Structure 1
Amino acid sequence: MSIQLTDIVKSFKTDRVLDSLSLGVSRGETLVLFGPSGAGKTVLLRLIAGVIDPDEGRIVINGVDMEGVEPEERGIGMAFQNFALFPHMDAHANIASPLTARRRTRADIEDRVNEVAELLKIRHVLGHKPKELSNGQKQRTALGRALAAEPSILLLDDPLRNVDAKLRFEMRLELPRLLKAQEATVIYVTQDYKEAMALGDRIAVMGAHGIAQVGTPEDIYLTPADTTIARLFGDPAINLLDVVPEQGGGGPEIQLSGARMPLDTAYAGVVGRPCILGIRPETIRFTEAGAPGVIPVEIEAETPLNEKTVTLAATRAGREILISRPAGTPGPDRGTAHIAIDPSGALLFDQATGKRIHPGESA
């Protein structure tokens, strides 16, 4: 089923949480809602589910306007942060409850509950009631209940928040496969950018009162709409340096540590405009002195992080730069070093607004 939200407004007293929000989710798509706490992600799920009503705007599911349609009539599976488990039922009965309501056979129910419990690693607690479960087990039980009924639409509110790191990693691999197999339309809330990148066909980044950017994980990472979004995605974080592009002999360029770094010629229109240069740490490499565009830096610290090594360096003006390279790759750990930056990977943002400057844009 498809979901279409048009000009949604929702306020609580004087606090306007969502302001003229519009968003579409295609049939069978997994859309991740990503953003900080308080951005309105859970509110948006509750509006779609029918738990609360919008002040303004339309919610259309599979071509049908949901105004006046009760939650139980919307054909939606939900797993919210507060678990909402039946306290008098054990985990097995909680997961089975939507199947029992549909009068599925006992054999079908057993097969489905065991399948979901195996995926979520909770078969050993199926006989336990909610008060006997840890928060992580409660969360997985709530997720299992949502998955068991194989609904056409799934609303998942940070369902792996209380899960340990190992299982969380495994679920990032398994959940997409399961959701695709069910052909469900999914809206998945998370504050973990790695989870958003792993699970989403598209990501909707929520900002103040609405959607700040929608795109594929690659779009969001490589072409963030502003510096705020650029900072949210990536570990280590993107380097953001104040610069003013100049006109060089071969096109636009900037100066770092007294060296000239060329920019893509498509940025010729922003020469003289105060900008912020965005450079992902993994796009910077150590190199030998003397090559064109090489920038001298001083190594301040080096930190091994399992699969990568992160180096903190400083330009001659004292501006810090993070450099990331695969673990085991040789690189300097002290003293003066030289780096090269691929101009095609450099981003420019307007210094006043933080908005990304598109290639070809003029000052």
Structure 2
Amino acid sequence: MTRLEIRNLSKSFGSLRLFHDVGFAVAAGETLALAGPSGGGKTILLRLIAGIMEPDEGSILIDGKDVGGVGPEARDVGVAFQNFALYPHMTAFENIASPLRARGTETARVKERVTEVAALLKIDHVLENQPRELSNGQKQRTALARALIRRPKVLLLDDPLRNVDAKLRYEMRLELPRLLAVADCAAIYVTQDYREAMGLGDLVGILRAGRFEQIAPPAEIYTRPRSVEIARLFGDPTINLLPCRPERTAEGLQVEIFGRPMPLPLHFAAAEGRDCLIGVRPEHVSVGLQNGPGSLPFELNAVTPLNVRAVLFLRDAAGTELLATCPEDDALAFGRGHHRVFVTIDTSRALLFDRENGQTLALPAAAQPLAA
């Protein structure tokens, strides 16, 4: 069921047009992770949905009802801010209870709901503490509890983990999907951390310069980005990008990279003769110590551990750099110091972008055969 729907939303500030014709939908129990650079309009969009601001044009629908002109208190929207925004003179209990008290909920029911949500967020032991007595993690959980206490139909989370330490950020990334699933609301989670967006969102939306460049499930954002900028943003380590020009040969469609022709999948046929950038994810670059069919000689400059994988920094004879990844155990075979290795690139998994405008030239639905 569609819980939140945005239709043709526009907003300007004087001559600055922040949004134009923005539209999307979020279902009950679904989280849209909203990513993009600072100044792209993410927080303003939340304020429009919450009713703190009104759009110039367009509609905001909650459960199919247009809430234009309806005040924030009547929209059934919960909000948690990155700066916590707790009332300093109230205990954690009273901060969490404040939305229910504002609605005149009876005392017994208030206590029941606060106890329930506090236990869910593991802050039931600090309910009598003032905000100044809480850690940043406890403050963030208190703010989140206050947003969830009314069981809102829509939950807006404005970069809520930005001001907490790395350990808590990691823990909350694991806990939040469970909490949001229990809440069964349509959630929008704003973040500038692209890994966080991929880990928390059922959908990921990239908002840049007041427009959505892509809204899709995380796997699709990664494997089928709409532009070279999106491909760069999502991936750690970042995607390898190399200039190329696909050409038709007797062997089929090919592209020359690192001085050697390599086959391209059939869905890139429309790119023949165009100036492009080929994008190769580091995990699609295989590195070994022995020369083999189709492999290229490279200099291995460094090996850097990254969680359970290692990043390999490579350079060919012309000085062009390439990133690869492999399991950490496999990386042990390369040892330390500079030495020669051999690289194989899986061009069947490559992406191709127009070199001038950065747009993706083909979006395969699944793995494609190589052109013959």
Task: Give the TM-score taking structure 1 as reference length.
Answer: 0.92
* Correspondence for 1:265: 266
1:321 deviates by: 0.8
Pair 114,359 (structure 1): closer, same or farther in 2 beyond 3 Å: closer
Q: For residues 1-363 of structure 1, what are the structure 2 equivalents within 5 Å?
A: 2-104=3-105, 106=107, 108-287=109-288, 290-330=291-331, 331-332=333-334, 334-358=338-362
For these two proteins, the number of residue pairs brought into alignment is 360
SS in 2 for 1:252: strand
SS in 2 for 1:329: helix
Residue 172 of structure 1 contacts residue 199 of structure 1 at CA under 8 Å; is this kept in 2? yes
Measure, in 2, the Cα distance between the counterparts of 1:199 and 1:108. Answer: 31
Residue 10 of structure 1 contacts residue 55 of structure 1 at CA under 8 Å; is this kept in 2? yes
1:63 deviates by: 1.6
Measure, in 2, the Cα distance between the counterparts of 1:103 and 1:285. Answer: 64
Residue 260 of structure 1 contacts residue 293 of structure 1 at CA under 8 Å; is this kept in 2? no
Measure, in 2, the Cα distance between the counterparts of 1:142 and 1:15. Answer: 32
State, as a whole percentage, how many aligned pairs show the same letter: 51
The one-letter code matched in structure 2 to 1:21 is V
1:161 deviates by: 1.3
The one-letter code matched in structure 2 to 1:352 is E
Per mean C-alpha deviation after superposition, the further-off stretch among 120-129 and 9-18 is: 120-129
1:128 deviates by: 2.7
Residue 245 of structure 2 contacts residue 273 of structure 2 at CA under 8 Å; is this kept in 1? yes
Residue 274 of structure 1 contacts residue 351 of structure 1 at CA under 8 Å; is this kept in 2? yes
Write the deviation string for residues 108-139 of structure 1: whole angstroms up to 9, x where unpaired.
54454344334444444432323444544433
Write the deviation string for residues 230-285 of structure 1: whole angstroms up to 9, x where unpaired.
11111111111111123333222222332222111222332221110111111211
Residue 224 of structure 2 contacts residue 363 of structure 2 at CA under 8 Å; is this kept in 1? no
Structure 1 stretches of 5 or more lacking a match? Answer: none
Residue 291 of structure 2 contacts residue 342 of structure 2 at CA under 8 Å; is this kept in 1? no
Measure, in 2, the Cα distance between the counterparts of 1:136 and 1:152. Answer: 25
1:289 deviates by: 5.1
Measure, in 1, the Cα distance between the counterparts of 2:363 and 2:238. Answer: 23
The one-letter code matched in structure 2 to 1:173 is L
1:313 deviates by: 0.6
The one-letter code matched in structure 2 to 1:307 is V
Task: Give the TM-score taking structure 2 as reference length.
Answer: 0.90
Pair 344,114 (structure 1): closer, same or farther in 2 beyond 3 Å: farther
Measure, in 1, the Cα distance between the counterparts of 2:329 and 2:35. Answer: 33
Measure, in 1, the Cα distance between the counterparts of 2:363 and 2:217. Answer: 20
Per mean C-alpha deviation after superposition, the further-off stretch among 214-223 and 81-90 is: 81-90
Structure 2 stretches of 5 or more lacking a match? Answer: 365-372
Detail structure 1 runs of 4+ shifted over 6 Å in the superposition: none
